[in-house]
Amino acid sequence: MDRKKFVAIYVATFFFVFSLSYLKGEQSVYQSIRIFYPSISDIKIVGSIGIPLDHISGKEEYYMDIAVTSSQTSYLQEMGLDLEVLVEDMSKYFQERSLPETQRDFPLGSMQGNYTWDELNTRFDELREIYGSIISERLTLGQSVEGRDIWAFKLSDNPSIDENEPELLYTGLTHAREPLSMMNLIYFVQELCEGYNINEEMTYLINNRELWFIPVVNPDGYVYNETYQPNGGGMHRKNRLNTNCGDNTERGVDLNRNYGYGWGANNTGSSSNPCSDTYRGNSAFSEPETQIVKDFVESRSFMNVLHYHSYGNYYIHPFGSGNLPEDPDLTTFREIGNQMAKENSFVVGTGQETVGYTVNGDAVDWTYGNQGLITFTPEVGTSNDSFWPSENRVIPLCDNQVHANSVFAFISGNDIILDGVEFSERFFEPGDTVNVSIQIQNRGLLDSDGGVTVKIEQLNSLIILPFDSISVGTLESRASDMISFNFFISNTSDTGSKSGFIISAYDQSSFMRYDTVSFFIGYPELLFFDDFEEGLDNWQFEGDWGLSNFSYSGNWAIGNSPNGNYDNNQNTQIVLEFDSGFMFFDGLNISYKANWEIELYDDFVQFQAYVPNEGWISLHGKHTTLGSGQQGQPWKSPGYHGSSDGWVEEIILMEQLNNLIPTKFRFVFVSDTYGNADGFFVDDFGISGHPNLIPGDVNMDTFVNIFDIINLADIIQSNSYEQNLIYVQDLDRNGIVNIFDLINLINQIMGYQ
Ligand SMILES: [Zn+2]
């Protein structure tokens, strides 16, 4: 930064502080603004006036969207930042756009679906009344600045007893304008309670864990928001300590900058200005709210902690400075984070890697750095959802965390999982000996409870296993083991029949999971194949899709942008019409070689099947991940982004269509306004399956005999063959059903072949 600009910041900050709206006694209007092409010095300017950079959205190098007061907007404009006001008044915007929820299984509150402080207290009492045998009483931990009780509760069997079970903690509403950080916890609690003695996972967690919740760390800030915006949309973030900034949103300490690890390390990750939204307080743990969390964590033996916030679709792990934890912890953070993100595609990483900016004095840094616990800051909701999502988004967003919250509870203790299965060959024939490797992991934070057993049960008698269980000894926390053995495919099994086994890996007290691994016996029949060497005749293409000489085999492949990087704002496709007799094949699969560089989280390629009356259905394969819900990525829908690191073989199993019969397939590509990459390439596209009809069994009575000859003669004479029965009728496999197929069939029946 040049010296002149540096001086200017300080002078302007000075005026800024003294031109705040509190001097006029008015409530601050919060705006959403977009800063284009933010430079490091721009970000410093933003950080230096205490604009929080922890719940923002944007795209590195292109733009960032932040929530600021209208006076901060003016200040940033004066400082010469290139910006656009996206939303003039966020509170008003949140209220006006909110659409009501119609589903009422989960009772919603009166602030755009979120509970007020009183409603939350009542809701807890109701849950406790119904589920008192598994929910503890309220445990008052202490009082906030304004004297409200900060309370915790526990979910477990025998909730009044401190049992010797792994315990973990979930906290919500540290920042008062992030109601989903609390709502998702109450939703999870209701799921656990309703699932107790019904759902095996929920029952196990309640019987074998102690799940602690502090639903509201910052009740004063939350009550302030509901006081000045009773219908939701309040933008106050901090606690309500009087920091001599008037009565409005400028007042208070940012609780997530007040923890003791790296407190006040610099003025970009937190602010020393008492009226700033990221004011860190007088000293570490100066605030009763953070002191209460600290005392509670220190008084118990938590294994792991989630400190919930919103928004951004992230699971942020330490450190706020951007430094990475050392291994093995880094691997633990990455693996557990990605397992939590499996159903919602949240991005896992440090604040620097996800949001792009640093913080200090935050809760996860202290929880890990000081207490040594595995911990994340989940950021619930997309950039579109923002702080106050539309009411009809509250339940989907809560539901979106149930998997992650469950995984996090499982890993508190010993938790044995199947981590991978690999066969020595892709296809096997009757009579083959096949080698299989089974990888298991104790992904939990406690060592296994005694030795681990891997039980393997065959699905049917078409395979022969050498044993039904094997013992692998004790597995330490986070350790893996692999077992490898041969099994046999029965001589009497039919090609095209399905077999496999069910694997469960467990110790004396871990949760017992059953994973089914299945396969079809025999080599499948190829129904369609295109290596693109003969051009694009099979496909209808639009946009920039076309032939590319960047191929896996031969000279040609196809790509969404064969010549250089793809463009912005694309929505293009390449379509294959093919619907030949899918119902007469089992184990149908589509395979192709693919190679891609697609902008992460915003651009997307999807492979889809068209089913009449259903429309296009996105299919998942070995290499797809789920869409982020941002820009070009439909929420939770499978597709490709990031980098494939070279050519990979993709396999799409058609059984995911549940017997729906597709008539077309396509690759569809969507890009957003900013950022692009090399694109998506496909080669060696094939469709194959195991025929479930017998060639020549024209009348489909499972016998090939004289009646089939009569039937086929009729078909040929009336020229009435059906394309989707060609596998049965076209015996010489030349694509036409004619007299030669009849001769072929007669010869077959007469035994001349
Ligand atoms: Zn927050």
Question: How do residues 298-332 score in pLDDT, each as one tens digit?
Answer: 999 999 999 999 999 999 999 999 999 999 999 99
What does each C-alpha distance from 463 to 421, 530, 641 come to in angstroms?
17, 34, 38
Output the six-digit token pair for 417. 């999982």
Residue 46 has what pLDDT? 87
In a domain, 68, yes or no: yes
Helix, coil or strand: residue 261:
coil
CATH code of the domain containing 620 = 2.60.120.260
Q: Nearest 5°: phi and psi at 191?
A: -60, -45
- What is the predicted pLDDT for the residue at 104? 65
712 has a pLDDT exceeding 80 = yes
Average pLDDT over residues 336-356: 91
* Residue 751 pLDDT greater than 80, yes or no: no
- pLDDT tens for each residue of 567-602: 999 999 999 998 777 878 888 999 999 999 999 888
> What CA–CA distance (Å, rounded) separates 35 from 461?
64
In a shared domain, residues 67 and 121: no
Distance of alpha carbon 173 from the chain centroid: 22
Do 570 and 632 lie in a common domain?
yes
Instruction: Tell whether 209 and 337 lie within a shared domain.
Output: yes
The enclosing domain of 135 has a CATH number of: 3.40.630.10
Asked if the model's pLDDT at residue 13 lies above 50, the reply is: no
Same domain for 433 and 552, yes or no, is no
End-to-end Cα spacing for the chain: 86
Band of residue 168 on the pLDDT scale cut at 50, 70, 90? very high
Give the residue, 223 or 100, on which the prediction is more confident.
223
Q: Of the candidates 411, 428, 450, which is a domain's last residue?
A: 411
Between the CA of 178 and the centroid of ligand 1 the distance, in Å, is: 6
If asked whether residues 463 and 555 sit together in one domain, one would say no
E-strand ranges in 544-663 read: 546-548, 557-559, 571-577, 585-598, 604-611, 615-618, 625-626, 638-639, 642-643, 648-653
pLDDT, greater one: 752 or 43:
43
What is the pLDDT averaged over residues 518-523? 91
Ligand 1 center from residue 717 Cα (angstroms): 75
CATH of the domain at 478: 2.60.40.10
Domain identity same for 170 and 313: yes
Ligand 1 centre to CA of 358 (Å) is 14
Q: Which residues contact 521 (CB under 8 A, 6 or more apart)?
A: 428, 429, 430, 462, 489, 493, 494, 495, 496, 497, 498, 499
How far is 108 from 229, CA to CA, in rounded Å?
17
Rounded mean pLDDT of the chain? 91
Cα of 309 to ligand 1 centre, how many Å?
4
Angle 521-522-526 (CA atoms, 0-180°, nearest 5)?
125
- H-type alpha helices, 50-196: 70-78, 90-97, 117-130, 180-195
pLDDT at 477 over 60: yes
Last residue of a domain, one of 490, 522, 554: 522
Q: What's the 175 CA to ligand 1 centre distance in angstroms?
A: 5
Most confident of 55-69, 89-103, 292-306, 696-710: 292-306
Could you tell me if 468 and 376 lie in one domain? Answer: no
78 is a domain residue: yes
CB 117 within 8 A of CB 222: yes
Residue 55 alpha carbon to ligand 1 centre in Å:
6
pLDDT at 10 over 80: no
Q: Is 240 within the bounds of a domain?
A: no
Position 736 pLDDT exceeds 90: no
Nearest to 220, CA basis, from 128, 143, 151, 295 = 143
Both structure tokens of 659: 């017997």
Distance separating alpha carbons of residues 591 and 618, to the nearest angstrom: 15
Does one domain contain both 214 and 362?
Answer: yes
The pLDDT of 605-621, averaged and rounded, is 96
488 is a domain residue: yes
Provide the pLDDT for residue 14. 42
Residue 722's pLDDT is: 73
Query: Could you give the 3-state DSSP secondary structure of residue 568?
Result: coil
pLDDT in tens, 430-454: 999 999 999 999 999 999 999 999 9
Residues 716 and 655 in one domain: no
The total of structural domains in the chain comes to 5
Same domain, 434 and 569: no
CA torsion through residues 122, 123, 127, 130, sign: positive
Return the structure tokens found at 196: 């107790």
What is the share, in percent, of the chain residues with pLDDT greater than 90?
Answer: 73
* Span from the CA of 380 to the centroid of ligand 1 (angstroms): 10
Give mean pLDDT, residues 206-215: 98
State which residues form the domain around 61.
3-97
Same domain, residue pair 304 and 400: yes
Tell me which of 472, 493, 522 is where a domain ends. 522
Q: Which residues are catalytic?
A: 379
